[in-house]
Amino acid sequence: MKSTATGLQNKVVKAIAWSATQNWGRMIVQFLALLVLSRLLNPAAFGLVALATAFTAFVKVFLDQGFGLAIIQRAELEPEHLDTAFWTGVMTGAVTTGLGIAGAKFIAGFFDDPLLAPILGWISVSFVISALSNTQISLLQRQLSFKSLAASLIAADFVGSVVAVIMALTGFGVWSLVAQVVINDLAATIILWRVCGWRPRFRFSPCHFKDLFSFGSSVVGARMVNFFKRRSDDLLIGYFMGATALGYYSIAYQMLLVITRLLLNVINAVALPAFSRLQHNPDEMRRAFSTATSYASLIAFPAFLGLSLMASELIPTFYGPQWAPSIPVLQILGLSGILQALFFFNGPVIMAAGKPAWNFALTAFQSVASLIAFSIAVRWGIEAVAIAFVVRGYVTAPVSIWMLRRLIQLDLIDFMREHISQFIASVVMVAAVLGIKYLLGDMMNMIALMLIGISGGMLAYGVGMVLLEPNLARQLLGYVQLISPGLKWPVPAWKKV
């Protein structure tokens, strides 16, 4: 039993290391491309593609019927599961591509923007393309083969980004962003077929379809309502305020996503397969959940608050002064970071525990709250929508807490106590950065102020953590161990007190 647990730990830490490589590598490539494209294209171009991808994201909810997560979660997997999942996805992808092309004019007419129709039509081609690799991705995730997955997806992003930048430089405008979406999926599919040794057979099993569908149907439902939670702000801004306003909002949101993916998706990508192997041991799952959130908050708390504090310097420096309307949006959205760090892993816990219906109910509740909040806020502008985004997250958090208490007997007081040092040190950092900006804001240029503000904030946070947690070195060593192959997954020092 001990050797099995040790083997799982080694696989998990190696998977986290490659998950980090995947997320950081992809985000670096995408971020560098965005820096170039934001200076070559206008906000309306980004708004149009954001609106188009909002609709395509809804369609992609149905592509694999939730079979991908079912493949990852199942304790026992037969070859017929994979064959059935693949051909179901391909058939669904072909149908949705046709529907996307056919319905493009109707959707464009609804938003009163004719240019949206051809954009939707071309991006819809990605449905059938991505369907050809969904099963391969799920299989690699199940096997914790994140090294192969990382190399494949980073390479695909690089190809798509290079094509997009070249097209933007040669005057293709918004079509460079469209090409980036399609080429990314095409390159990923080609590379994943070469990397993954599995090949589908021409077999479809109704019995195995039913087996996968019994789990996947709740996943699809959760994804569908999650779409409205994540994308209803884009749709409402695009409809009521137009593509330009949506472009400003989407740039700020993209920067928030960059930080989220760099800091949290590293562990989250491994969370479901790792938690699934602990699904029959609530104590171990609770320990794994608590450890993941502790390490996440150690880095995420100061990072997200710093994003809000330095938004007025970050946006003009990276994207240019023409994106100034995005600054207040980013300042507001960054305040959601504390909540994201604390409950980013609740979904994988719920799914790993075999409760997809619970995840569906939670997401539905959050989606309804989002629709109501965004519908009220959109009349006052994109800043009000950003405020609604943050408020909705904190208002609905108690439901997530209740579910975690039921599934893994999470003690809320102990859970919050584990993060109090990170929170207090983050408050110290906020005071330091505000002081630096107040004293030096009129004495130096924006880039210098940004660098000094970030450095001063990091120093203040580090000193605060050392004073609050004398065992900080051991905590940081634990974080390094999480992403270093061959080392044990530790319990953070502050959790042993």
Write out pLDDT tens, residues 400-428: 888 877 777 777 787 788 788 888 999 99
Would 248 be classed as within a structural domain?
A: yes
Low-confidence winner among 164-168, 265-269, 457-461, 463-467 (lowest mean pLDDT): 265-269
Cα–Cα nearest to 104, from 119, 126, 90, 125: 119
Average pLDDT over residues 223-248: 84
The whole-angstrom separation of Cα 183 and Cα 186 is 5
Would 315 be classed as within a structural domain?
A: yes
pLDDT higher than 70, residue 88: yes
Helix (H) or strand (E) holding 451: helix 446-468
Residue 109's contacts (CB-CB under 8 Å, 6 or more residues apart) are none
Give the model's confidence band at 480: pLDDT under 50 very low, under 70 low, under 90 confident, else very high.
low
Would 434 be classed as within a structural domain?
A: yes
Average pLDDT, the chain: 80
Long-range contacts of 370-374 (CB under 8 A, 24+ apart): 370/228, 370/229, 370/232, 370/233, 371/228, 371/232, 374/232, 374/233, 374/236
Would 18 be classed as within a structural domain?
A: no
Cα–Cα nearest to 271, from 146, 155, 418, 401: 146
Average pLDDT over residues 298-306: 87
Length of the chain equals: 497
DSSP count for the chain of H helices, then E strands: 22, 0
pLDDT higher than 80, residue 448: yes
Torsion angle of C-alpha atoms 381, 386, 387, 391, degrees rounded to 10: 140
Low-confidence winner among 83-87, 94-98, 246-250 (lowest mean pLDDT): 83-87
Average pLDDT over residues 158-177: 93
Low-confidence winner among 20-24, 28-32, 119-123, 412-416 (lowest mean pLDDT): 20-24
Q: Give the domain extent around 424.
A: 28-490
Q: Which residue has the higher pLDDT, 22 or 385?
A: 385
Average pLDDT over residues 307-332: 92
The count of domains in the chain is 1
Would 363 be classed as within a structural domain?
A: yes
Q: Hunting for tokens 């990508």 — which residue is that? A: 269
Residue 131's contacts (CB-CB under 8 Å, 6 or more residues apart) are 63, 64, 89, 90, 92, 93, 94
The reported pLDDT for the residue numbered 456 is 92
Q: Which residue has the higher pLDDT, 198 or 22?
A: 198
Average pLDDT over residues 140-152: 76
The reported pLDDT for the residue numbered 492 is 45
Q: Which residue has the higher pLDDT, 470 or 450?
A: 450
pLDDT higher than 50, residue 483: no
The reported pLDDT for the residue numbered 165 is 94
Q: Name the range with the highest mean pLDDT among 65-69, 80-84, 239-243, 350-354.
A: 239-243
The reported pLDDT for the residue numbered 216 is 64
Contact 305, 334 (CB under 8 A): yes
Which pLDDT tens digit goes with each residue over 264-278?
666 555 555 566 566
Give the model's confidence band at 429: pLDDT under 50 very low, under 70 low, under 90 confident, else very high.
very high
Contact 347, 360 (CB under 8 A): no
Query: Where does 409-445 have alpha helices with state H?
Result: 412-417, 420-440
CA distances from 373 to 17, 203, 236, 379 (A): 38, 46, 11, 11
Give the model's confidence band at 489: pLDDT under 50 very low, under 70 low, under 90 confident, else very high.
very low
The reported pLDDT for the residue numbered 328 is 95
pLDDT higher than 50, residue 236: yes
pTM of the model: 0.74
The reported pLDDT for the residue numbered 167 is 95
Give the model's confidence band at 364: pLDDT under 50 very low, under 70 low, under 90 confident, else very high.
confident
Would 79 be classed as within a structural domain?
A: yes
pLDDT higher than 80, residue 370: yes
The whole-angstrom separation of Cα 386 and Cα 372 is 13
The whole-angstrom separation of Cα 87 and Cα 33 is 34
Would 20 be classed as within a structural domain?
A: no
Average pLDDT over residues 355-379: 85
Q: Name the range with the highest mean pLDDT among 72-76, 322-326, 399-403, 470-474.
A: 322-326
Percent of the chain exceeding pLDDT 70 equals 81
Which pLDDT tens digit goes with each residue over 184-232?
999 999 998 888 878 888 888 788 777 777 666 666 766 777 777 778 8
pLDDT higher than 60, residue 477: no
Would 11 be classed as within a structural domain?
A: no
Give the model's confidence band at 286: pLDDT under 50 very low, under 70 low, under 90 confident, else very high.
confident
Give the model's confidence band at 355: pLDDT under 50 very low, under 70 low, under 90 confident, else very high.
confident
From the number of C-beta atoms within 10 Å of its C-beta (0-12, 13-18, 19+), residue 243 rates as: buried
